[in-house]
Structure 1
Amino acid sequence: MRKFCISFAFLLFAFVAPAQHVKPCKPCAELKNLQLPDVTILVAEANVGDTIKEPNEPWRGTVVIQKPFCRILGRISKEINFELLLPEESNTRFLMSGGGGFVGSIQNDFQRKVDEGFATAGTDTGHEGGGDAKWAYNNMERQLNFGRLAIHRTAVVSKAIMQNFYCAAPSKSYFVGCSRGGGQAMMEAQYYPEDFDGIVAGAPAFAWPAIAAKFLQHSQHNYPNPKNLSPVITTDNLKLLQKEVLKQCDQLDGSVDGILNNPSKCKFDFSKLPVCANEKPESVCLTETQLAAIKSIYSPLIVNGKQIYPGFPFGGEAEGGSWDPWITAPISARQKEPSLHHMFSTNIFKYLIFNDSTFNYSKYDFKDFAAETAYASSYLDASSADYSAFKKRNGKIIFFHGWNDAALSANATIEHYNGILKTDKDAQSFARLFLLPGVLHCGGGPGCDDVDWVSLIIDWVEKSKAPDQVVASKKVGEKVATKDIFAYPKE
């Protein structure tokens, strides 16, 4: 097993007591000449209201910022690019956004928060192009930046720039991310507990080789022939499956509403699914091959007697944005490749685990998985249940996960949180978990998915208001539905 040690002592500065508002002590343009170790300021421009577009990610839309701010674009070391937006009238808080997938572009989901006085930042994590992981091929620096370093370095540099611009360090610092961003959040809490006072980790991708292995298991069942990537599980199968899951389990929470309040209580009887005669696929039944592929998704991946990754909860199988596109997607005009599980697993194994672009997913047998993935896990994973250093500095962390997330299993987050509770009997004094019924990956689905996580973490950090429950909402037409979600393990 290859071992390495990362030590990054960058810049030290003292925090100031919280203040209501702080204004700049120097012009924005002067930051262009700011000298920080291993940092290049590329752009420092003042804006009196601006429209910010993301040319590489049009799906993010256009962000209009109404109030004056200073925009910084910079580069750390060779290729960690970042954006920092500094409001003319600051509320003294630093708020950093996590990224999604393989990242590969500067992702700052809180640009609009500048109007509320937050200084906000995002980074591309040290590479361009996030549609696959080819950027990581035989490039250890990019691998380490993506897995362990880029968020930390961007946070330290951003706070140093704030110190120069406002002549005051941020009063409090926050990080909020989902998916890859959720894993980044956990990495920060575990390895760099001094970076943030409050952290929100949504649907976290925190054990990358294990996730890739589970995805690969699905792909081997659903796309058994790499030369013919038509999925075994069809759209009709998903409709049939979800109908039967709801028939057996929807009433368990006392409300027949198409949502399982707690899918772990669903003891699904697969024998009640209709089986096709002679393995001939039809829309009203499942072949044995299709049934085996479906069962593999709900089942944990076990290698050499050890669970690598848990199975996925029941519910939401046929919802838009659920198993299709994540697990069972056919190649189409909309989806140029097979499922996202297929894409992520093959890319992770090719470029982050084996450095072998010829890796054939269909032939992998998992028998040497632990040894083969040890190096990648050492810089990609944030799976420790020990948050004692974060707790010691009075840090607070909120985890959340949609129960019907088809991208990353809610069971993985539950198991991790249970590990925290086992490690520290007082864990709920600094860590809470919320499970959102009927919600897909980071949002979507029929469940209430809109929660103001930023306000919740600020209230916990600054007002000692621990979130025993949250109010989740969803707009349906002209009406807004709400649901009270209690902190796990309560329902």
Structure 2
Amino acid sequence: MLSDPLTGFGAEDRRHHISLLSLLGEKRDSVERVKTSVMAFSYSTNDHVLATAETREVYLKNRKPSLWQQLGKWRDKKHSYRRICIMLSALALALWLLPTQTLGTPNASTACNTLPDLMRSLVSNLGTVETAFIPTNSLNVSGTFNSIAFCRVNGSVPYPENNVVFFEVWLPETEVYTGRFLAVGNGGMAGRIDYVAMVENVNKGFATAGGDSGHRASENNDGDAYPGGVYLPYLHDRNQVLAWIRNSIALFTPPAKKITGAYYQDPPHHTYYKGCSTGGAQGFALAEFHPELFDGIAAGCPGNWYSHLALSFLWNQQVTLEGSAFLPQESLDSIRNAVLDKCDALDGVEDRVLENPLACEFDIESLACKYLAINTSACLTPEQLAAAKEIYHGPRHSVTNRSIYPGFDFGSESEWMFQEGRLSLSFSLPLLQNMVFDDLSYNGSTFDWAADVDSMDQKVGSLIDATSPNLTSFKTNGGKLLVTQGWADPFNAATWPINHLAEVSRVTGGERQDWLSLFMIPGGGHCGGATSYPQIPAKQNSLEALVDWVEKGHIPDDLLGTAPADASGRTRKICRWPQTAKYIEGNPDESHSYICEDTNH
């Protein structure tokens, strides 16, 4: 909520900066132009408001006189020249004491302000375009400030049945612009721009664009359908459903690139996409349905078989729902600890994480109550054992017995609590209630794991999934696809991208390809760190590796993992699958102490 048009950029600091610029020789009219173009913003995850021209006018009307104006009054009152000189000296000293916060060059501000008129002449179907010049360190997005000044552009693109995709483009100042365009994706049910991704990447010098996916979270229960039974308008609009995952990025990218080219008077030399979760699904949709748009795509924890991912949530809820089958957190932690005790050292170091869960041979029957004392968290009842095995195995078609979606892997057990309820209520039921059965009271208890799976495929999967293994067009166009997946992801089964990309490789010709790379993150969570592995680096240099791959032809053999939640400073080598990291010597908390080697799993 925008409570103060100067949030993140104090009024005193701004007034002093402007006055000091004047006293240091700037033309007065240039200073006034900078002052009237400066706008500051306040951000929250669920409520973002752009400061408008009206807000700016209110500020200009009510602001206190600048120091320049005060000096003018002093001159009129025949204050002594000596007093003014003393004041100027004090101000010069104060300049060194003020926080670093640049306004940006007048040329950049002017170019930003004139961009809407230019765009109307270049793009015929572009909706209203609004711009604002954002000074350095004046925009706070969930604790991250913009480290560089940029031109902020709001735009919209119409699509069938009077629908609109709203998007923004953030254009860094020319001095730090890399010449690259980056589109960022959405998360969950989307409906809003991912401003965290926007500020992170504009800070890297990318012209960064993001959209709301073609529908508004504010019109769809704020993008959260929990606990089910909620009417979601966008799920009843075929065009909005298609835009959600498959088309929205492709709708706003062409005009966003034109805006970028117009601002810098030169089109970007390379075009990239980065997204995770639903954004990862959008990345696969771009490679499948819009293969010509991007030079490189970074897709994290991809839910591109979204309809079946949602069914896996329902399956895992059902198998833990009855009687004593429920697995409390202490039991989940006990299972994970037993797994780590068995397999932690397989990579040559004991660090309480599995490098490759597929290499672990663990028998969960060893935790049965007949072997352990009853009523301890490590003792599993027959019902709990059966439930855990079903989560490991994953849902199956009740007639054909084919896998509907992969199960979860060893070492991920502490992250299963969401699988036992909330995910089904937040994602499975909304799709079933709004799109399959058209019944908001439907609770999933009577779901037929044959006929209803087929209905899900026809009514939902046909509109939102992006699972074709034939990505030949993207490959032929020179595209590069870099995929990351955490082994302890609490939402997406980790072996889904392994299985899917193996099929993609088979269809497109070649087991190890120069256009496709997968990185499996030991202890990694969903688009970041897993809460049960705070010692594991939560960030990877995936975008930097993708750029190097696209522009220099360097196929990434490994990524660098950094920034663990426990602030230990640990780094980790994340190998290109099917290779995994093996400890050789040195400090086990440093990435260079490992090598990548082939695995048979």
TM over 0.5: yes
Find the partner of 2:426 among 339, 343, 358: 343
Find the partner of 1:116 among 204, 212, 225: 204
Match of 1:95? 182
Q: Deviations 1:206-227 (Å, cap 9, x if unpaired)? A: 01111111111011122359xx
Residues 182 and 137 (structure 1), Cα distance of their counterparts in 2 relative to 1, 3 Å cut: closer
TM-superposed deviation, 1:25:
11
Q: Equivalent residues in 2 for 1:410-449 (5 A)? A: 410-426=494-510, 428-445=513-530, 446=533, 447-449=536-538
Find the partner of 2:261 among 159, 163, 166: 163
Q: Equivalent residues in 2 for 1:260-275 (5 A)? A: 260-275=354-369
Match of 1:83? 168
Kindly indicate whether residue 546 of structure 2 is the aligned counterpart of residue 450 of structure 1.
no
Whole-angstrom distance in 1 between the partners of 2:253 and 2:205: 18
SS in 2 for 1:44: strand
Match of 1:71? 152
TM-superposed deviation, 1:175:
0.6
Match of 1:197? 295
TM-superposed deviation, 1:274:
2.8
Match of 1:387? 471
Q: Which of 209-218 and 267-276 deviates more?
A: 267-276
Q: For residue 400 of structure 1, what is the amino acid of its counterpart?
A: T
Structure 2 contact 365–385 (Cα < 8 Å) conserved: no
Q: Which of 211-220 and 283-292 deviates more?
A: 283-292
Residues 266 and 377 (structure 1), Cα distance of their counterparts in 2 relative to 1, 3 Å cut: same
Number of equivalent positions? 445
Residues 62 and 355 (structure 1), Cα distance of their counterparts in 2 relative to 1, 3 Å cut: farther
SS in 2 for 1:481: coil
Match of 1:29? 113
Structure 2 contact 394–403 (Cα < 8 Å) conserved: yes
SS in 1 for 2:136: strand
TM-score with structure 1 length normalisation?
0.84
Aligned-residue RMSD, C-alpha: 2.5
Q: Deviations 1:98-121 (Å, cap 9, x if unpaired)? A: 111111211140323324321101
Q: Deviations 1:242-300 (Å, cap 9, x if unpaired)? A: 122223322333333211111012222122113279xx966342222222222221013
**Higher strand content, 1 or 2:** 1
Kindly indicate whether residue 127 of structure 2 is the aligned counterpart of residue 127 of structure 1.
no
TM-superposed deviation, 1:390:
1.0
Q: Equivalent residues in 2 for 1:293-372 (5 A)? A: 293-303=387-397, 304-318=400-414, 322-324=415-417, 326-328=418-420, 338-368=421-451, 369-372=453-456
SS in 2 for 1:429: coil
Kindly indicate whether residue 260 of structure 2 is the aligned counterpart of residue 172 of structure 1.
no
Whole-angstrom distance in 1 between the partners of 2:551 and 2:391: 41
Whole-angstrom distance in 2 between the partners of 1:222 and 1:179: 25
Find the partner of 1:45 among 132, 145, 149: 132
Kindly indicate whether residue 566 of structure 2 is the aligned counterpart of residue 468 of structure 1.
no
Structure 2 contact 538–564 (Cα < 8 Å) conserved: no
Whole-angstrom distance in 1 between the partners of 2:567 and 2:447: 50
Whole-angstrom distance in 2 between the partners of 1:474 and 1:113: 17
SS in 2 for 1:488: coil
Identity percentage of aligned residues: 31
Residues 459 and 254 (structure 1), Cα distance of their counterparts in 2 relative to 1, 3 Å cut: same
Residues 116 and 213 (structure 1), Cα distance of their counterparts in 2 relative to 1, 3 Å cut: closer
Match of 1:214? 312
Match of 1:256? 350
Structure 1 contact 32–42 (Cα < 8 Å) conserved: yes
Q: For residue 31 of structure 1, what is the amino acid of its counterpart?
A: L
For CA contacts below 8 A with separation 6 or more, give which structure has more relative contact order: 1
Q: Deviations 1:153-211 (Å, cap 9, x if unpaired)? A: 12122112112222222110111111111111111111111111011111100011111
Structure 1 contact 245–315 (Cα < 8 Å) conserved: yes
Whole-angstrom distance in 2 between the partners of 1:276 and 1:97: 52
Q: Equivalent residues in 2 for 1:401-416 (5 A)? A: 401-416=485-500
Match of 2:335? 241
Q: Deviations 1:135-167 (Å, cap 9, x if unpaired)? A: 334222221110321111121221121122222
Q: For residue 333 of structure 2, what is the amino acid of its counterpart?
A: K
Unaligned runs of 5+ in 2: 1-106, 218-222, 226-230, 581-601
Unaligned runs of 5+ in 1: 1-22, 55-60, 329-337
Match of 2:572? 483
Q: Which of 115-124 and 172-181 deviates more?
A: 115-124
Structure 2 contact 136–149 (Cα < 8 Å) conserved: yes
Q: Which of 170-179 and 464-473 deviates more?
A: 464-473
Runs of 4+ in 1 over 6 A off after TM superposition: 23-26
Whole-angstrom distance in 1 between the partners of 2:212 and 2:392: 33
Structure 1 contact 436–449 (Cα < 8 Å) conserved: no
Residues 443 and 68 (structure 1), Cα distance of their counterparts in 2 relative to 1, 3 Å cut: closer
Whole-angstrom distance in 1 between the partners of 2:489 and 2:566: 23
Q: For residue 164 of structure 1, what is the amino acid of its counterpart?
A: A
Whole-angstrom distance in 1 between the partners of 2:460 and 2:565: 43
Residues 258 and 135 (structure 1), Cα distance of their counterparts in 2 relative to 1, 3 Å cut: farther
Whole-angstrom distance in 2 between the partners of 1:354 and 1:168: 51
Structure 2 contact 275–283 (Cα < 8 Å) conserved: yes
**Higher helix content, 1 or 2:** 2
Q: For residue 485 of structure 1, what is the amino acid of its counterpart?
A: I
Whole-angstrom distance in 1 between the partners of 2:315 and 2:490: 14
Structure 2 contact 529–565 (Cα < 8 Å) conserved: no
Whole-angstrom distance in 2 between the partners of 1:356 and 1:98: 30
Residues 282 and 28 (structure 1), Cα distance of their counterparts in 2 relative to 1, 3 Å cut: same
Structure 1 contact 26–165 (Cα < 8 Å) conserved: no
Whole-angstrom distance in 2 between the partners of 1:137 and 1:386: 28
Structure 2 contact 297–480 (Cα < 8 Å) conserved: yes
Structure having the higher Rg = 2
Q: Deviations 1:30-85 (Å, cap 9, x if unpaired)? A: 3334333443235211223253356xxxxxx0432233311111222233111110
TM-score with structure 2 length normalisation?
0.69
Whole-angstrom distance in 2 between the partners of 1:40 and 1:79: 9
